[in-house]
Amino acid sequence: MKFLRTSDLARAVGIHPNTVRLYLNWGLIPPVERSPSGYRLFTHRHLDCLRLARMIYAAPYPGRGFRALGNEIIQCAVVEDWQGALEKAREHLLAVNTELEQADTAADLLEHWAQNMTDDAAEEPLAIGEVSKLLGVSLDIIRNAERNGLITVPRNSYNKYRLFGKKEIERLQVIRILSKAGYSHMAILRMFIELDGGNTRDLKKVLDTPRADEDIFTAADRWLTTLHEQKKLAQQVIQLIEEQIALR
């Protein structure tokens, strides 16, 4: 059997040798034997697992759930269960497609609401407890939305209690829908800034496009782009695993 060196694996996937050692320590490639002189004796089995792990880990961080699925795929490959890895990879693709559908639907509902919202002040405003029961959310969620600038709630001039009218309730509904679909508070705030400025169109794009002053952002701040990238990655992972199965 022809053995490979750490540098051979690193060169094959375009990473530093220390990264190979890191992946080995993390358990992302199988344990490796050493020669009598102490050199690691890698094989093509290690290289195959490294290619898979590198494909998954080199992609932008997609969030804890998708990364966990990626780890399950890698662990199947580490123990030579490539068929199991394929099943996990298909599960990963299904999960991404489900999230993508939910995110798209939520953004479409947002744009429909923005273009058809009305300001009906005739209805009696509700107190925060009533809104909490109506929407099925906690008081803290409502207060946090106000604290984070997602919503501005008028107050009773006499007792300073919050007064939620139709506009505020609908806005909370939109926040809830978008949050459940995976969008971050920053993305929602960015969208509301545009909406409050008079822009009722292209809000899906605004949700997915961080501004120049957002120098630090997460996957959920550009959730649609993240999901499309994950879908492409999931398809590439499936293709790689199928190629490995065909070679065995």
**What CATH number did the domain enclosing 88 receive?**
1.10.1660.10
Confidence (pTM):
0.86
Average pLDDT over every residue of 136-162: 91
Are both 34 and 146 inside the same structural domain? Answer: no
- Specify the number of domains making up the chain: 2
Cβ-proximal residues to 202 (8 Å cutoff; 6+ apart), any chain:
none
Average pLDDT over every residue of 192-208: 91
Instruction: Please report whether residue 192 resides in a domain.
Output: yes
Neighbour-count burial for 215-248, b at 16+ CB within 10 Å, e otherwise: eeeebbbbbbebbebbbebbeebbebbeebeeee
Are both 62 and 116 inside the same structural domain? Answer: no
Are both 161 and 215 inside the same structural domain? Answer: yes
Residues 237 and 55: their CA atoms lie apart, in Å, by 7
Domain that holds residue 151: 100-225
Instruction: Please report whether residue 74 resides in a domain.
Output: yes
Are both 61 and 105 inside the same structural domain? Answer: no
Are both 105 and 192 inside the same structural domain? Answer: yes
Instruction: Please report whether residue 43 resides in a domain.
Output: yes
pLDDT at residue 166 is higher than 80: yes
Instruction: Please report whether residue 50 resides in a domain.
Output: yes
Give the per-residue pLDDT at 121: 62
Are both 18 and 130 inside the same structural domain? Answer: no
Are both 84 and 172 inside the same structural domain? Answer: no
Instruction: Please report whether residue 17 resides in a domain.
Output: yes
Average pLDDT over every residue of 58-75: 91
Instruction: Please report whether residue 110 resides in a domain.
Output: yes
Are both 106 and 73 inside the same structural domain? Answer: no
Instruction: Please report whether residue 1 resides in a domain.
Output: no
pLDDT in tens, 178-192: 999 999 999 999 999
Give the per-residue pLDDT at 212: 83
pLDDT at residue 160 is higher than 80: yes
